[in-house]
Amino acid sequence: AQRVTQPEKLLSVFKGAPVELKCNYSYSGSPELFWYVQYSRQRLQLLLRHISRESIKGFTADLNKGETSFHLKKPFAQEEDSAMYYCALRPSGGYQKVTFGIGTKLQVIP
Amino acid sequence: GAVVSQHPSWVICKSGTSVKIECRSLDFQATTMFWYRQFPKQSLMLMATSNEGSKATYEQGVEKDKFLINHASLTLSTLTVTSAHPEDSSFYICSAPSPGEQYFGPGTRLTVT
């Protein structure tokens, strides 16, 4: 069974402060890890995926297989980063279902 | 990127009636579509997987006779909520997978009165 844990429902930070949204996963096989973002009244959209090792909107996430974590980080938070962030896991190989964490609401205080 | 659309974006219906939600992949073919439900302030919960040309597979606890799924073509999947009740009020989201990611529709807000 696959499981994604996001321990914080709400994270409030001041503008300019560093951000770290935590995500831990449980899966016996080889997973694909993603971060999705949902801005107010908008659809879910992909922010990052571990296989591409990219930085989007200043966010980065590194897959740590030893700690089974995929934390999302940004050095300096901006007000427009306020949104819901979902960590997600999909088994590698084929079009398999994605399991989501409960989400973390990031609130950037001006 | 690829686009997935849903129709309607919101619907209000009376208890006991049925509602159909359409999910279309606009610029690619989707042999598989996932249907999720999202309650307020909660995460997305997978309800079922629709497969073009075969029966849908449902997650544990999801009534297949209540949530009818049809994947009529490579670009269209439908979810029909039959005999809707107020507890079925939720945000329904479809999603189509592709290599490396998954594309989400904008969602359908269902309110059952």
Q: Give me the mean pLDDT over the B95-101 stretch.
A: 82
- pLDDT of the residue at B105: 92
Pairing status of strand A10-14 against strand A104-109: parallel
User: Are B100 and A43 in contact (CB < 8 Å)?
Assistant: no
Q: Residue B80: pLDDT above 90?
A: yes
Asked if A31 has any chain B CB less than 8 Å from its own CB, the reply is: no
Asked if B48 has any chain A CB less than 8 Å from its own CB, the reply is: no
- Tell me the residue type at A88: A
Query: Which residue in B34, B42, B46 is closest to A102 by CB distance?
Result: B42
pLDDT in tens, A59-93: 999 899 999 999 999 999 999 999 999 999 998 87
At A92, which helix (H) or strand (E)?
none
Q: Is B105 exposed, middle or buried (0-12, 13-18, 19+ CB in 10 A)?
A: buried
pLDDT band at residue B102 under the 50/70/90 scheme? confident
User: Are A43 and B104 in contact (CB < 8 Å)?
Assistant: yes
pLDDT in tens, A23-55: 999 998 888 999 999 998 788 888 998 877 778
- pLDDT of the residue at B27: 83
Cα(B107)–Cα(A46) distance, rounded to whole angstroms?
A: 15
pLDDT in tens, B28-67: 888 899 999 998 878 889 999 998 888 899 999 999 999 9
Shortest Cα distance, chain A CAs vs residue B43, angstroms: 5
- B4: which strand partners? B25
**Count of CB contacts below 8 A, A vs B?**
45
User: By percentage, how much of chain B surpasses pLDDT 90?
Assistant: 70
pLDDT band at residue B1 under the 50/70/90 scheme? low
Chain B residues inside the 8 Å CB shell of A91: none
Q: Give me the mean pLDDT over the B97-109 stretch.
A: 86
Asked if A103 has any chain B CB less than 8 Å from its own CB, the reply is: yes
* Chain B interface disruption, residue of A51, A56, A95, A105, most B CBs within 10 A: A95
DSSP code string of B48-104: EEEETTEEEEE-TT--TTTEEEEEEETTEEEEEE-S--GGG-EEEEEEEEETTEEEE
pLDDT band at residue A8 under the 50/70/90 scheme? very high
Q: Fill in the DSSP letter of residue A16.
A: T
Query: Which residue in A43, A90, A102 is closest to B43 by CB distance?
Result: A102
